Structure 1
Amino acid sequence: MLLRKLSESEYIEAINLSMYAFQYNVPETDIPARQELLKKHTIFGIWEEQNLAAKLHIIPLKVQINGIDWEMGGIAGVATYPEFRRKGYVSSLIKHALSEMNKEGQLFSFLHPFNISFYRKYGWEIFTEYKKTIINKIDLEMAGKSSGTIKRFTKKQHIKTIEKIYREYMLRYSGGLVRDSYWWKNFVYSDYQIAVYFDEASEGQGYILFKVKDNKMDVEEFAALNQEARVNLWNFICQHDSMVEEVKIITSVHDPFPFYLNQPNLKMEVFPYFMGRIVNVEKCLCQYSFLDNNENVFLHVEDHHAPWNNGSYLIADNGVRVFKEKEGSQCTNPPARGLHISINALSAIIIGYKRPMELYELGEMKGSRNDAEILERKVPLQKSFFYDFF
């Protein structure tokens, strides 16, 4: 068994494994484009003799958390051929990926789990949910008078205004992907189009990413910067009442839709979505903007698969002090002060998915209630959300 990085000439092996494991087909004519796309990935594989047995991709991306853009390693394409499963290959790849992301300065890592409990073992934690709302044709009733204009755009017609709206909209949340034009054109549009709402001053104030097919309207993104944009984008959706029997809309659980509709009694479902974890706790906490309130608290972090994170961290107004365990030392009596916290729980707090007191009540942090209340007051209030997929 050999674990190593794939060369560009071996990308076809990664593509073949993905097609087998995820049960899809890449047409022969599309293989060169797929190989070109993989040049942006770092792919590690485990080889049995001359055969690729398992693989994992790291995609270098950026995310916005607490008002700051952070380097993030996106984990994707994790796959093993069935004859090589249950040999611990994926576990080895994940641990290696954590080390590589740490070396590359990627302080966070996100992934879409096939199984939440599996990735929790390696320190990733759910950090976002999405809300799916189903609207039947009978409920497509306009929410008020329309104003401004709606313009539709395909991938080939993409404009920077859409990127500006997305960026401003996602600043309301924590954890959102920082998208460039390449990402928009290659990973957002697919076979969808975008409808942008422009106000009376011709300023873009919101958009929806949607497609209409088989008498159904699928709205994958609904990003409105104000109530005027919400109403006009909803009214645009209602204008499809002669074309569709049903509309599906994906939003953040924190988005006010459908409260402002005349008939908000609609079928809604909430789903856990992406998982995230801190890759380097020291660098993350030192760059994170805690609230200054003349209080301080110790965090004793435990991370089984990224041992460089194990240690104690004093969160104070004048910065973060780090106390790492010396190699080979054993502490028979753990520190009495502070909170003992897993990398999972800390990641959920820092990204903005859970509040410290909520996790303390759930038993995810150990220590005094007073210290938990101090941490609650030190961490800014955030709402996490993630619209993308990789």
Structure 2
Amino acid sequence: MEYVMFTSLEEAKENGIEKVREDVYSLWQECFGDSDAYTDFYFEWVVPYNRIYTLYKGDKLCSMLHLNPYTLEVKGNEVKSDYIVGVATRKEERRKGYMGLLIERALQSMYEEGKPFTYLMPAAEAIYYPYDFRKVYTQENWVRKMRETALKESGKEKENRLLRLTVPDKNNRRILTEFAENRLRQEYDVYALRSRKYYEKLLIEVSSTNGGIALVFKKDKLIGYAAYMKDDGLQLSECIYDLAYREEVLSKLYHEFSSCLKEKEEGFEPAIMVRIINLKAFFSSLRSKKDISIVIEAKDDRIPDNNGIFRLDISESGCNVTNTEDSPMLRGDIGDLALLFFGKLGEEEIKERIVSGDKNSVFEAISEIQLYRRLFLNEIV
């Protein structure tokens, strides 16, 4: 039986799949094992605003992929991006290439929309590596940091106050939003833009796991917070603090939650992989400390329009991208370029990809580019 692919729940319904939402709900529970409460949160707070790609054989849902929209702050610029989640295939339909078909279709759609890059949190890097996703961020182990800090600061506890945020508490949600946005803007190159709505959604999400958001105050000043989940021992999904009060925040959180803390599973580190989508759009967001020009040859086996030789004229105000027939200075596939511009290649690795000109001079020019080294992407869905 041939498969049919749909690029939204609406399209599936228009083509006679009346129970597509119920099918997606069922496959989500089957593949991810989330509680009813968490699954209900996702379908109430996320599904109405995302795009779900589905693959059917007859009236049977075989595979799905979700694109969850986020506005990212990238070096001070707002960038629309899609966070890929919910990639799942029914057990008896696996190893038939369905996941790959959905990924390829989603990549093409995002390219046509001009999205510079997409990202996901993989169950295993090897699954997505062939699709040119590359690991650029590993979540901090805040539980370990809390424990180590508390041991070091034992006997030095300060009189700080911990408050658990509630949905009706709009004033502290406003204070939290302003605090987080200020800290993230100062310390990171790439992060999800924060708003009061963002924190309302995050609070509902962690509450569905019996967790919450804990705010740490020094007198009346917010100095840090943690979003935590408690469905299987306490785990921190993110922790942000004023660097001047790092030890105080981590110690306060540890003493509050020490009885139910859970380390990350051995061998598993929540990580983010990125995939450049529309290469010209990605290049256009680059900035450099001084005016430079470089010529790059790119190779992309899955998005044909990303192939070619591009001249980049980069300055503090932006990057002008043009196709050229000039000889490339640097050559790389789309995965290499992600690692390069997210700051994951060392000097020798960069020089290996330089194919013309003086390698030291080209490397110095590349070194002027403001790379996306400092990431903070911890969203679950």
- Tell me, yes or no, if structure 1 residue 357 matches structure 2 residue 347: yes
Cα 1:152/1:19, change in 2 over 3 Å: closer
Q: Alignment RMSD, CA only?
A: 3.4
- Matches of 2:221 and 2:277, distance apart in 1: 39
Cα 1:137/1:65, change in 2 over 3 Å: closer
**Structure 2: gaps (5+ residues):** none
* Contact 1:131/1:269 (8 A) holds in 2: no
> What is aligned with 1:151?
163
- Matches of 1:139 and 1:58, distance apart in 2: 42
> What is aligned with 1:88?
97
* Contact 1:169/1:225 (8 A) holds in 2: yes
- Matches of 1:36 and 1:147, distance apart in 2: 37
> What is aligned with 1:44?
53
- Matches of 1:212 and 1:17, distance apart in 2: 24
> What is aligned with 1:338?
329
* Contact 2:138/2:269 (8 A) holds in 1: yes
* Contact 2:312/2:322 (8 A) holds in 1: no
> What is aligned with 2:289?
291
In the TM superposition, what whole-angstrom CA distance separates every residue of 1:15-41 from its partner, at most 9, and x where no partner exists?
Answer: 1112222234537x9769826641211
- Tell me, yes or no, if structure 1 residue 224 matches structure 2 residue 222: no
Pairwise CA distance, 1:72? 0.5
- Matches of 2:227 and 2:82, distance apart in 1: 26
Pairwise CA distance, 1:213? 9.1
Pairwise CA distance, 1:284? 1.8
Cα 1:61/1:32, change in 2 over 3 Å: closer
- Matches of 2:21 and 2:227, distance apart in 1: 32
Question: Secondary structure of 1:296's match?
Answer: strand
Pairwise CA distance, 1:376? 2.0
What TM-score do you get using the length of structure 2 for normalisation? 0.80
> What is aligned with 1:141?
153
Cα 1:324/1:24, change in 2 over 3 Å: farther
- Tell me, yes or no, if structure 1 residue 274 matches structure 2 residue 284: no
* Contact 1:125/1:275 (8 A) holds in 2: yes
* Contact 1:140/1:238 (8 A) holds in 2: no
Question: Secondary structure of 2:338's match?
Answer: helix
* Contact 1:126/1:272 (8 A) holds in 2: no
* Contact 2:216/2:252 (8 A) holds in 1: no
In the TM superposition, what whole-angstrom CA distance separates every residue of 1:50-91 from its partner, at most 9, and x where no partner exists?
Answer: 222111111111122222221001111111112322222111
The letter for the 1-side match of 2:312 is I
Question: Secondary structure of 1:271's match?
Answer: coil
In the TM superposition, what whole-angstrom CA distance separates every residue of 1:131-153 from its partner, at most 9, and x where no partner exists?
Answer: 32532898273485636644332
- Tell me, yes or no, if structure 1 residue 64 matches structure 2 residue 73: yes
Cα 1:337/1:43, change in 2 over 3 Å: closer
Pairwise CA distance, 1:281? 1.1
* Contact 1:345/1:359 (8 A) holds in 2: no
Question: Secondary structure of 1:20's match?
Answer: helix
* Contact 2:149/2:247 (8 A) holds in 1: no
- Matches of 2:267 and 2:5, distance apart in 1: 41
- Matches of 2:98 and 2:124, distance apart in 1: 17
What TM-score do you get using the length of structure 1 for normalisation? 0.78
- Tell me, yes or no, if structure 1 residue 233 matches structure 2 residue 249: yes
Question: Secondary structure of 2:298's match?
Answer: strand
In the TM superposition, what whole-angstrom CA distance separates every residue of 1:225-284 from its partner, at most 9, and x where no partner exists?
Answer: 231x323313423544xx74575689xxxxxxxxxxxxxxxxx99936011122111012
* Contact 1:136/1:246 (8 A) holds in 2: no
Pairwise CA distance, 1:156? 4.4
* Contact 2:149/2:251 (8 A) holds in 1: no
> What is aligned with 1:115?
124
> What is aligned with 1:312?
309
* Contact 1:129/1:385 (8 A) holds in 2: no
Cα 1:149/1:121, change in 2 over 3 Å: same
Pairwise CA distance, 1:287? 2.5
Name which of structure 1's ranges 51-60 and 372-381 shifts more when overlaid on structure 2: 372-381
- Matches of 1:372 and 1:182, distance apart in 2: 43
Of 20, 41, 46 in structure 1, the residue corresponding to residue 30 of structure 2 is 20
Cα 1:54/1:145, change in 2 over 3 Å: closer
Alignment length (residue pairs)? 354
> What is aligned with 2:321?
321
* Contact 1:356/1:375 (8 A) holds in 2: no
Cα 1:211/1:108, change in 2 over 3 Å: closer
Pairwise CA distance, 1:48? 0.9
> What is aligned with 1:3?
5
Question: Secondary structure of 2:111's match?
Answer: helix
> What is aligned with 1:173?
188
* Contact 2:73/2:191 (8 A) holds in 1: yes
- Matches of 1:222 and 1:33, distance apart in 2: 22
The letter for the 2-side match of 1:349 is L
Of 210, 215, 221 in structure 2, the residue corresponding to residue 196 of structure 1 is 215
Cα 1:141/1:379, change in 2 over 3 Å: closer
Cα 1:163/1:347, change in 2 over 3 Å: same
Pairwise CA distance, 1:285? 1.1
> What is aligned with 2:355?
367
Cα 1:102/1:14, change in 2 over 3 Å: same
Name which of structure 1's ranges 145-154 and 217-226 shifts more when overlaid on structure 2: 145-154
> What is aligned with 2:378?
387
- Matches of 2:163 and 2:40, distance apart in 1: 34
- Tell me, yes or no, if structure 1 residue 303 matches structure 2 residue 303: no
- Matches of 2:229 and 2:31, distance apart in 1: 28
Cα 1:80/1:225, change in 2 over 3 Å: same
- Matches of 2:149 and 2:289, distance apart in 1: 47
